[in-house]
Amino acid sequence: MRITTWNVNSVRLRLATLERIVRTLEPDVLCLQEIKVEDQLFPTDAVKALGFDHVLVHGQRNYHGVAILSKLPLDGHAQRNWCEVDHRRHQITHLPGGIELHNLYIPSGGDVPDRNVNPKFAHKLDFLAELATHWEAEAAADKRMIAVGDFNIAPLETDVWSHKQLLDVVSHTPIEVEALGRLQRSAGFVDAVRAVIPPEVKLYSWWSYRARDWSASDRGRRLDHVWVTPPLASAIRDASVLREARGWDKPSDHVPVTVDLDL
């Protein structure tokens, strides 16, 4: 099974790019974040025409929103809110074999990495903590689970273009990296991408729109992740980041991250 996660940054504006990504990667399951559209206006017919018979949308107007497109049948559809904030950031379904799939858009956290002056940063940390507490309580490490999405944190030194220069930049601060670490430990998650591509190798999935030349400056961060619980760790076969998609017409600022599992 091939699963891809991609922050699409407006699904309606990006349908041609979505089609090119599907033709290039041929994923069985494609998890989208930041669809920026409410459920009724999601282009369901267009994605079904790409071969995804099973479509689960958890959208909202203007901001956030997640969707799962699948060629495999999906069982159930749950949505979760964290921190009592009505943002559509988390949906859950089941893949064949009873595998629980989580599609996540973790809050970006604003500009100032101080929870006392920046409510968005506090929300990001609280979101991570509440989800970790939830997974710890249900002993999720024993379940067959996949968690994917835009986690908005680059945990490793090689996940950013400059570890030193980003230590005080939201997405790579020690407090965020620790919060993400607790979330990862909460269900014993294996970072499927780093299980394939060694942690020594620099690897990014996001480049700012603001760079004059994103590829030349290459100031990227690895914000998008695919994690699996221990019962699925031995199924990991391959992982890749479609860097070239950042250079296509009408790119998202994120590129797709793909993992192959032998289930």
In the set 2, 12, 134, 202, which binds DNA (CB under 7 A)? 12
Residue 116 CA to residue 106 CA, distance in Å, equals 19
CB burial string 113-143: b at 16+ within 10 A, e below: bebeebeebbbbbbbbbbbbeebeeeebbeb
In the set 26, 96, 250, 263, which binds DNA (CB under 7 A)? 250
The tokens of 226 are what? 């695919």
Binding-site size for DNA (CB under 7 A) equals 19
**What is the helix, strand, coil percentage profile of the chain, to 5?**
30, 25, 45
In the set 20, 120, 134, 202, which binds DNA (CB under 7 A)? 120
Region from 59-67, 129-137, 186-194, 230-238 binding DNA, contact rule CB under 7 A: 59-67
The 139-178 contact track toward DNA, x by CB under 7 A, reads -------------x--------------------------
The tokens of 48 are what? 């079904």
Whole-number CA gyration radius for the chain: 17
Q: Assess contact for 151 and 224: CB atoms under 8 A.
A: yes
Q: How far is the CB of 259 from DNA (least distance, A)?
A: 22
37/140 with CB nearer DNA: 37
Q: Does 210 bind DNA (CB under 7 A)?
A: yes
Region from 21-29, 57-65, 132-140, 184-192 binding DNA, contact rule CB under 7 A: 57-65
52/105 with CB nearer DNA: 105
Residue 259 CA to residue 118 CA, distance in Å, equals 35
Residue 78 phi/psi, 5° resolution?
A: -115, 150
Q: Does 9 bind DNA (CB under 7 A)?
A: yes
Binding site for DNA (CB under 7 A): 9-10, 12-13, 36-37, 61-64, 107-108, 110, 120, 152, 208-210, 250
